[in-house]
Homo-oligomer: A and B are copies of this chain.
Amino acid sequence: MSSRSLRLRGFKDYLPQEMFLRRHIVETLQEVFESYGFEPLATPALERETVLLGYGEEASKQIYRFEDPDGVRVGLRYDLTVPLCRFVLSHPDLVLPFRRYQVQSVWRYDKPDPGRFREFLQFDIDTVGAASVAADGETIAAMAEALRRLKVPFRIRFSNRKILNGLIRYAGIATELAHSVFRVIDKLERIGLERVLKQLGEGYVDDSGARIEGLQLEAAQIEKIEHFLSLGGGKREKVLSALAELLNGIAEAEEGIEELREVSAVLSALDVEGEEAAVDPTIARGLDYYTGVVYEAQVVGGERFGSVMGGGRYDG
């Protein structure tokens, strides 16, 4: 074995210069988030496999899983959201609302790419419990301030899981199909509108010649989803009004929109305008966990790397 191949493929050593940069980023984020009342948390690298399998089938394939010497099936954490849920369940005496940030490595068995590694640092911000949604506005404002201080061009998108649930009602889709529909919508940025619509219907053949199965929704249902998907991108008030009009009469969606109006008002009061933080009803962020407001930040020009920061509200 040559000395260069001693290191595992897809993994990386961080040399001093990179470590100083990484520390600068981490310290900036810590400082800003703590000034907004978030507290640090760390959870173990290893969790029970039963806990980690909550991610769904696709993610499960990317989890480093094995049997430990006790004969317990375990895995390396895939993100910081599922460990947070496990943490909350393991600490029934936790005082809610619990606002935490977490900066730790996660592991994903993924195709290694330049700039894409199998171990990388995640920074997560979440609120657990029943605080006012104004807190979500403050979180998004803190994310904006942190990214401003780091001098990276960024764009935050936020939404509310209640709106996606409302869409299912609006389009008359069977509840058992909801998650599959969300999973397809979640791919919008990656695969584009045309393929999303095809996958909602009859499916398509991708570039590698593989057949992607469709969900076989009716044309009228797909049309309603298409309309919904077209609503993002403008001023926050405009998007929210359009959503309110579209999902008029669906109680859960109306509640979600009302919460987003409150978030938007907090953002405006804290001088975070639409160019920095926009309503995007298509984002889902971890399909099974969040119950309310969700948000994620991207670096402008670096969208292909996915979100650099994200979080949301979980009301247990």
Residues of chain A at the chain B interface (Cβ within 8 Å): 1, 3-4, 6-9, 11-16, 19-20, 23, 39-48, 50-51, 61, 64, 66-70, 72, 74, 76, 86-87, 89-92, 100, 105, 107, 109, 118-119
Contact B91 A50 (CB under 8 A): no
Q: A92-B3, A109-B68 are in contact. Are A8 and B41 (CB under 8 A)?
A: no
A89 to chain B, nearest CB (A): 4
Please give me the residue from chain B that is nearest to A12 by CB atom. Answer: B44
Q: Which residues of the partner chain B approach A61 to less than 8 Å between Cβ atoms?
A: 69
Q: How far is the CA of A4 from the CA of B89 in the complex (A)?
A: 7
Tell me, rounded to whole Å, the shortest Cβ–Cβ distance linking A85 to chain B.
9
Contact A19 B46 (CB under 8 A): no
Q: What is the CA–CA distance of A13 and B11 in the complex, to the nearest angstrom?
A: 25
**Chain B neighbourhood of A87, CB < 8 A:** 13
Bound: A50/B40 CA distance, A: 36
**Chain B residue at minimal CB-CB distance from A99:** B16
Does the CB pair A119–B11 fall under 8 Å?
Answer: no
Known: A8-B72, A16-B100. 13 other contacts (CB 8 A): A3-B92, A6-B89, A8-B44, A8-B46, A8-B47, A8-B74, A11-B44, A12-B44, A13-B41, A14-B43, A45-B76, A45-B105, A69-B109
Contacts of A41 in B (CB 8 A): 13-16, 19
Chain B positions within 8 Å of A72 at CB level: 8
- Whether A48 lies near B6 (C-beta < 8 A) is yes
Q: How far is the CB of A122 from chain B (nearest CB, A)?
A: 14
Complexed CA–CA distance, A134 and B284 (Å): 58
